[in-house]
Structures are given as structure tokens and as C-alpha cells.
Amino acid sequence: MSRIFITGSTDGLGLAAARTLMKEGHDVVLHARSRERASAISEISAAALGIVIGDLASATETRSIAEQVNAIGRMDAVIHNAGIYLERSRGETPDGHAKTLAVNVLAPYLLTAWIARPDRLVYLTSGMHRSGSNALEDIDWKKRPWNASQAYSESKLYIATLAAAVARHWRDVLSNAVDPGWVPTKMGGAGAPDDLEMGHLTQTWLAASGAGAAKVSGRYWYHRQQREAAAEVSDAGFQEALVGRLAGLTGVRLFDERG
């Protein structure tokens, strides 16, 4: 059985993934933004391997999350599930970043750098990534007028690209991006048309399945089917440019000269 950490696992797809993996007998480490959020899932957290607390909008708290996970032990897989959708304004995180960028991109980037390297990494993206701009000059929205939908789309382009960059650099890790579809979660809304179950079962399958089809890397998935991502995602030049921008914004370098 595997040991798996899931960010944003107090509700929605993250909680559904946690329940599924625990039912399958895996050891799951949950994540909540606050102690209040953690108390809302006390029933499932009691059966989990552990629960870590921290706000992904803060680099300091993200570092604490990584330390809490590492203290539990090395994970076999990490599912970067947490994300935010249409923020009314750019916001201002404690580190001065746009909140959408901080939670959806910078936090998984930092956790990838700081959590002991697992065997598998799963990053949640969205079909909306295809509408994201590949211009990286203002990814933190300091110059452009705020556009919530565009900011979200770009964040999902960046996270799919990060998944592909990790797959290219870390050959010993299976790294994949998952589009769960437009599913009826709190984020997606009650009227969302996609299959909620398939939305989370693709994550759990890639994180823990022994099937050969799940043991691949650098792919983009939708409902357990490989799909074509936007061209930028597999472009090594765009990957390096993005990772360089993220390193500049966070002060943390993910890849060294050896990969």
C-alpha cells in the first residue's frame, strides 16, 4: 500500500480522493488550510495517517506544510489538488503575490521543491489552460488589469507545464497533469456537467495504481484518458522559461544542473 499526501483535502475532489484511497487501504496524509477546516473533517482525519495545517497563499506556511509532511515520512505520491478559481481581485498574499498565482502555482512549485521526492506526482490542471497566455512577463498581475478568468487559465497552463517539466528533469518520478473536468464541487458549482467520480478517480489511479497504463510520466489526463495539452506544455523552452520565472518569484530553485 502507498503513503499519499493530498493538498486541499477538506472538501471537493481532494476529500473524495482521500476517501477513495483510504478505502483501498492506502495511508493518506490530509491537508487543511486552517484548524477550523481540519475540525470539519475530524471523522475522516481520525482514520488518516495524519493531517497537516497551513495556508498555501503564504510561502512561510507552505514551508511549514512541507516540514509537517516530511516529519511524517517520505510519501510515495503527492497529489497537488488544492486550488482557487475566480478571485474577485488580484489580492495580496503575505509575500506580495496575486492569490491565484500563489495558491495554484507557487505553492505546488514550492512543495515540489521542499517535500522529500516521492515516486509519483499528480498536478491538477483544467481544460481552461488552453486559454492561458504564454507571455511570462507579468505572470504576477502587477501591470495588467485584473481578469479573474484569465488569471485562472494561466495558472492552469503553468501547473500543467510544471508537471511536464518535472517529468523531463526527474526521470525517477512519474509526474502527470490531470484535468478533472468541470465537476459539481463547491468550486465548479452544482450545475457543472462532468462526472464528479471520474474527476477524482483519475488522480487516485495515477497516484497509486499498479497498472502499467498508470505508470507513465509527462502526460495530460482527462477521465483516465490521455489528451493533448496546449503546445506550450510540452515545449522545453517554455518549461525552462516558466521554471526560471517561478524560481525568481520564490527564491527557490527546483532543478539543479543535474536535474
Which amino acids are annotated catalytic? 152, 156
> Are the beta carbons of 194 and 182 closer than 8 angstroms?
yes
| Distance of alpha carbon 185 from the chain centroid | 16
Parallel, antiparallel or unpaired: strands 174-179 and 220-222 = parallel
Q: Which of 160, 205, 192, 189 is nearest to 16 (CA)?
A: 205
| Per-residue cell: 15 | 476529500
| Per-residue cell: 171 | 526521470
Query: DSSP secondary-structure letter at 174?
Result: E
Q: Which of 174, 177, 178 is nearest to 210 (CA)?
A: 174
**CA dist., res. 168 & res. 40, Å (int):** 39
Q: Element (H or E) spanning 38, and its range?
A: helix 35-39
Residues in contact with 205: Cβ distance below 8 Å, sequence separation at least 6, in sequence order: 211, 214, 224
Q: Quote the radius of gyration of the chain (alpha carbons, Å).
A: 17
Give the C-alpha distances (Å, rounded to integers) separating 99 from 31, 158, 204.
Answer: 18, 15, 27
The amino acid that residue 225 corresponds to is: Q
Scanning the structure block, which residue is given the C-alpha cell 497529489? 79
